[in-house]
Amino acid sequence: MTLLEGILLGALVGVVGIGCLWYFKFKAQQNSQSRLLIENMKAVSKYISVEGDFAEIYEFEDVKQRFLKLVSSKKKALVVVDAKAYVGFDFTKVEFLANPSSKQIVLKSFPKAEVISIATDIKYYDVKNGVFNKFEAADLTELNEKAKAHILSKIPESDLFSAAEKEIIRTLSIMGKLASSVGWELDVSKFKHNSKLKS
């Protein structure tokens, strides 16, 4: 091997080595960037939700009969329910797929809007106990459960689900801008396909 061949071989090995180093460093940087971007997107919020207020008034009445149904005892109360319901998307159920070569983040799966929580404030007025039919702790627990179930049945009649979809579209737009600010693209076609709203 001549000196010139040795120099050329050394230069070739050096160029290949630098090329490999640059390629793997660039690849690692892209993977790291996609992980960081996905983590930031997930950190936006665990839940994206909207809230709605509900108020209901109803009369509770319970009659118990004794002694061969000859004697009855009635307990009753006026029940006022103020409730706050939260409807939205559980962002922990969103699946992201990063494609570093195309610098694209795809929403692989997206959950449907759901009732996240209901907070109730129940007040009882005009409470009347019967002689042998009195209000007990179990009655109040049952009334609370019935009140929550009643409010839950009213939520689909409200506009909370469509408001939640509008809110998630706004949030996805912000996430898309976050992605594009670092040279990536957020593909939300899976959400738009499953959503009633198209933007």
Q: Please count the structural domains in the chain.
A: 1
Assess if residue 160 is contained within a domain: yes
Q: Which tokens sit at 193?
A: 């396909």
| Alpha carbons 190 and 126: distance in angstroms, whole number | 53
Assess if residue 76 is contained within a domain: yes
For the beta sheet containing 114-128, the strands, ordered from the edge strand earlier in sequence to the opposite edge, are 47-66, 71-90, 114-128
Give the global pTM: 0.64
Assess if residue 41 is contained within a domain: yes
Whole-number pLDDT of residue 72 = 82
Q: How far apart are the first and last CA of the chain?
A: 68
Whole-number pLDDT of residue 87 = 92
Q: Which residues in the chain come in under a pLDDT of 70?
A: 1-47, 192-199
| Alpha carbons 144 and 123: distance in angstroms, whole number | 10
Assess if residue 199 is contained within a domain: no
For residue 191, what are the CA distances in angstroms to 77, 109, 113, 134, 177? 47, 8, 11, 53, 17
Whole-number pLDDT of residue 195 = 58
Assess if residue 135 is contained within a domain: yes
* H/E segment holding residue 105: strand 104-109
Asked whether 105 and 41 are in contact (CB, 8 A), the reply is yes
Q: Domain span at residue 7?
A: 3-194
* Non-local CB neighbours of 172 within 8 Å, separated by 6+ positions: 107, 186, 188, 191
Whole-number pLDDT of residue 29 = 47
